[in-house]
Amino acid sequence: MSKQIFGAQMSLRCCGTTAPELTAGPCWQLYVAMTGLVSEWPTYTWPASTEIPTVRQRRDALTELGYGLAEDAEWEWEECTGPDYHPHPVRVLLLGTVKVRPLEAGAA
């Protein structure tokens, strides 16, 4: 089993997203933070919806990206305020984080 541990984060993109694909409205996006360019981080985007993806949907997304939860890892949630440069009033955002590890070759 891989000893590398990374942090995965997930948040609601309130105005949609342009990368890796354009979405027509708010959507949840999960990415694995690693070294290098942010544009090259493994990213999963759910279809436009404000409904929080279920634990199973999050696990399936991580598996598709080639990652699984690290041993004893649990999702942690934090409320923070969104950036003031958006064209709408500042909102409270929900940010989910969890420790992940690469899956063994061929496990994804």
Give the chain's residues under pLDDT 70. 1-2, 16, 18-21, 82-83, 86-92, 105-108
pLDDT in tens, 1-26: 457 899 999 988 877 676 666 777 88
Q: Which residues of 3-36 are buried (b: 16+ CB within 10 A; e: fewer)?
A: eeebebebbbbbeebeeeeebeeebbbbbbeeee
Closest CA to 49 of 30, 24, 21, 86: 24
Spell out the domain ranges in the chain: 6-102
Return the half-sphere exposure (C-beta side, CA atoms, 13 A cut-off) of residue 19: 7
Cα-Cα-Cα-Cα torsion 84, 90, 91, 93, nearest 10 degrees, comes to: 10
Residue 108's pLDDT is: 46
